[in-house]
Structure 1
Amino acid sequence: MKILKLTQGSPDWLAWRQLGIGGSDAPIIMGVSPYSTREKLLGQKLGLVPKDEAYAMRRGSRLEPSARGMYQIREGYSSAEPVCVIHPDFDWCRASLDGLVLGAMDQPSHVLEIKCWSWQKHDYVLNGIVPDEVYPQIQHQLFCCELDRCDLVSYNPSEKFLATGEEYACLTVKADATYQASMFAEECKFWEELNERLRARTVRSGWQAPITEDL
């Protein structure tokens, strides 16, 4: 994988995400996102539909540092910094990781994905269940990084869970080669359709679209 130094949330980071398929796009492409659709995502990548910053995303950004710190303390990892990565062979295949955990000799060991979910989904993780909507995101990240493990952390510091000491939950998710193959095929179709629409706009208006040809 190629590792980039981009500040998450910065204009450069937003532009970089726009020019590829990231982990948060994968559930939409695979049809399991409760928040968006494939057609809406195409519109956003084309710049025709504005992106919305949902309350859950703002809440996650605020709580993520605390969740990461708790993960490092409880699981015993000294480094789990957020990074941006690109697949070594497919430039459009990208991921903005909540954490890349380093192991022996400071080599990448596994991915950290942090969710600051509502109590219902937090309960799923407490009970060892990976919510359907996050599975494609995790598999996309693992494929992009060529790693075989992701630690999914759910953090909900509400009174309901603080009272019982259950505000933190961690599940290990392994790479699923069969699922990754079907997901990659769908992502290739999406990327090809996006580029076809970009070409059509270029022909009609003379606008120079950023097209990546590495399917």
Structure 2
Amino acid sequence: MTITLPDLVTPTGRLILPGDAPRPQWLAARRRGIGGSDALAVLGLSPYGSRYSVWADKSGRLREQDDNEPMFWGRRLEPILAEEFTARTGIEAAPCGLMANVDRPWQLASVDRLTADGGVLEIKTTSAYKASDWDAEQIADAAEAQLQHYLAVTGLEHGYAAALIGGQRLEIRHVQRDERLIQMLIEAEAELWQMVLDGTPPALDGSDASLAALAEIYPTAADRRVALDAETVAALRRYDAWCAEETALKKAKQAAKASVCGQLRDGTTGTFGGVEVVTWKNTGSFDEDAFTAALPDIAAACQKSVLDVQAVKARHPELYAAYRGRRFHVIKKGLQ
């Protein structure tokens, strides 16, 4: 059966996939362009992605990621939050599908909803730890970039972000089209998409996302030597020097912490001039060893089976070696 999709569903947004398309189709389609969730990373401003990781993903070099718990609950809660958005604003909102810009077919928009007043709605569920991103009528950077990307694709003039914070507080923000930011996004995204087409990676930065992408692309090491150029060795020397400095700073930091804890002793809160300045409470990591030693029966009742890694190492050394992560190690003697 052939599904005929309308040419334009917004002034510049062409529907290329209906909202009820099977998930495998969505996953394949999203790799054919740059989407709103990529926008902040393309600008080099995301704490969770980078230009390199987006390039690697769109180039098909990274495996598809399964939904984690936050993503799962975000999808499940989306219809409920869309209904609540309408209840609070009086603005109807309807699902659409995957759109592409008519002039830039690589620029994609999977908007959560189109609103009856001619806008888009982006729905977020976020941790209470990120609540400050939405304080004082602010909007989180990722949501702002995503909405402006959607406005670039669709040609619409405004949008809304509805964010459920900590599962208990819904914040709604109205966002107007920002032509300056949109132009920045278009230029940065067009440059990166051309790199995807050319197979040319962007420059690596020091983000966790870039290093994780590299580790996934090259998960196992071949037994061969690689001649490094002088610029790379200079970077290696800087890395080694910064590691030494990091160690010294960590010791100094721990010494300062020990001084404060030594004065707090069994107190939970330290004050200065009557104002709270530090806390030391039982909210840290759970001590499994101490718990098991003190309460062995309860610990045994709460046990669950886990993979015996040492057994894999002993019985299947070749598989153990194949699934080990790669460790970065500086050979100091070689740098002298």
- Same fold by TM-score greater than 0.5: yes
SS in 2 for 1:127: helix
Q: Which runs of 5+ in 1 are unaligned?
A: 104-108, 162-166, 199-215
1:60-139 maps to which residues of 2 (within 5 A)? 60-103=74-117, 109-139=118-148
Using structure 2 for the length normalisation, give the TM-score.
0.52
Worse-matched range after superposition: 2-11 or 20-29: 2-11
SS in 2 for 1:116: strand
Equivalent position to 1:55, from 69, 83, 104: 69
User: Is 2:41–2:49's contact at 8 Å kept on the other side of the alignment?
Assistant: yes
SS in 2 for 1:97: coil
Tell me the C-alpha RMSD between the 2 structures. Answer: 1.9
Moved over 2 A (4+): 6-9, 51-56, 77-80, 120-127
Alignment match, 2:58: 45
* CA deviation after TM superposition for structure 1 residue 176, in Å: 0.6
Alignment match, 1:2: 14
| CA gap 1:182/1:157 in 2 versus in 1, 3 angstroms | closer
* CA deviation after TM superposition for structure 1 residue 123, in Å: 4.6
* Deviation readout 1:148-171 (Å, 9 max, x if unpaired): 11111011363xx3xxxxx21101
Alignment match, 1:206: none
User: Is 2:122–2:147's contact at 8 Å kept on the other side of the alignment?
Assistant: yes
* Deviation readout 1:88-136 (Å, 9 max, x if unpaired): 2111111000101123xxxxx0000000011133453253111122222
Q: Which runs of 5+ in 2 are unaligned?
A: 1-12, 201-336
| CA gap 1:86/1:123 in 2 versus in 1, 3 angstroms | same
Aligned pair 1:142/2:142, yes or no? no
Alignment match, 2:185: 183
SS in 1 for 2:195: helix
* Deviation readout 1:60-108 (Å, 9 max, x if unpaired): 11211111110111111233324221112111111000101123xxxxx
Aligned pair 1:20/2:33, yes or no? yes
Alignment match, 1:197: 199
User: Is 2:112–2:122's contact at 8 Å kept on the other side of the alignment?
Assistant: yes
* CA deviation after TM superposition for structure 1 residue 8, in Å: 6.4
Q: Measure the CA separation in 1 of the matches of 2:119 and 2:126.
A: 22
* CA deviation after TM superposition for structure 1 residue 174, in Å: 0.8
Match for 1:152: what amino acid? A
User: Is 2:35–2:107's contact at 8 Å kept on the other side of the alignment?
Assistant: yes
Alignment match, 1:174: 176
Q: Measure the CA separation in 2 of the matches of 1:94 and 1:60.
A: 20
Match for 1:26: what amino acid? A
Equivalent position to 1:31, from 40, 44, 48: 44
Question: Which protein, 1 or 2, shows the higher relative CO under an 8 Å CA cutoff with sep ≥ 6?
Answer: 1
* CA deviation after TM superposition for structure 1 residue 58, in Å: 1.8
Q: Measure the CA separation in 1 of the matches of 2:25 and 2:55.
A: 20
* CA deviation after TM superposition for structure 1 residue 3, in Å: 2.2
| CA gap 1:76/1:138 in 2 versus in 1, 3 angstroms | same
Larger Rg, first or second structure (1 or 2): 2
| CA gap 1:28/1:189 in 2 versus in 1, 3 angstroms | same
User: Is 2:15–2:100's contact at 8 Å kept on the other side of the alignment?
Assistant: yes
Alignment match, 1:156: 165
Q: How many residue pairs align between the two structures?
A: 186
User: Is 2:127–2:166's contact at 8 Å kept on the other side of the alignment?
Assistant: no
